[in-house]
Amino acid sequence: MSVLPKEAKLLKTLPFIVFSKIILKSFNLLERVMSKCKAAALFPKVSHLACHWSVEIKYPENIEIGKGVVIGKMVTIGALGGIKFGNNVRISKGVTIESASLDFSTKAPYKHISKPITIGNDVWIGSGAIILSGVTLEDGVIVGAGTVVSKNLYKGDVCVGARSRTMLRSK
């Protein structure tokens, strides 16, 4: 359904523009308040944590978080096996960090197996990346957008691509 010229003119009037800006700023403020409330409820002892309200966290009691951690929109964190975040970690939009998987060596229904994940200080994880169980990301690691990490990355590594074997060593 297209907007009629008469209605289009109404949308461009100063009162409508001011009203729209007030509504948008109100939603932005509400989103920030909801994010702070969620972070405080899930991790009351953690200081300087920015956690978007849309984050899905499974087993928050198995998570350790350092200072200055930022968790972006629509991130999924599954901490059945435990996850430790260092200081100043940045997790971009749509990242999945999952410490559990299924044991396909048994008959269905498959049992869950889990291994801890450790993420060091000053790590950045790009949009849509996936960090799998048992992985350690040492200090200063950069994981590119869309990368699947199934192996450990070492201090200062830059990992890009669909497989962690396509990493560039900074050493």
pLDDT bin (cut points 50, 70, 90) of residue 166 is very low
**pLDDT score, position 4:** 64
The answer on 91 and 18 residing in a single domain is no
Range of the domain at 90: 46-168
Of 9 and 3, the structure prediction assigns the larger pLDDT to 9
The answer on 97 and 62 residing in a single domain is yes
Q: Rounded to whole angstroms, what are the CA distances from 30 to 17, 23, 37, 54, 113? A: 20, 11, 10, 13, 38
pLDDT, tens digit, for every residue of 61-98? 999 999 999 999 999 999 999 999 999 999 999 999 99
**pLDDT score, position 141:** 96
Q: Are 93 and 72 in contact (CB under 8 A)?
A: yes
pLDDT, tens digit, for every residue of 132-164? 999 999 999 999 999 999 999 999 999 987 654
The answer on 11 and 63 residing in a single domain is no
The answer on 57 and 8 residing in a single domain is no
The answer on 154 and 106 residing in a single domain is yes
Q: Are 110 and 89 in contact (CB under 8 A)?
A: no
Q: Return the percentage of the chain with pLDDT > 90, whole number.
A: 62
The answer on 136 and 71 residing in a single domain is yes
Domains of the chain: total: 2
Conformational region of residue 45, where left means phi above 0, alpha means psi within -120 to 50, and beta covers everything else: alpha
pTM (whole model) above 0.75: yes
pLDDT score of 17 more than 60 = yes
pLDDT score of 169 more than 70 = no
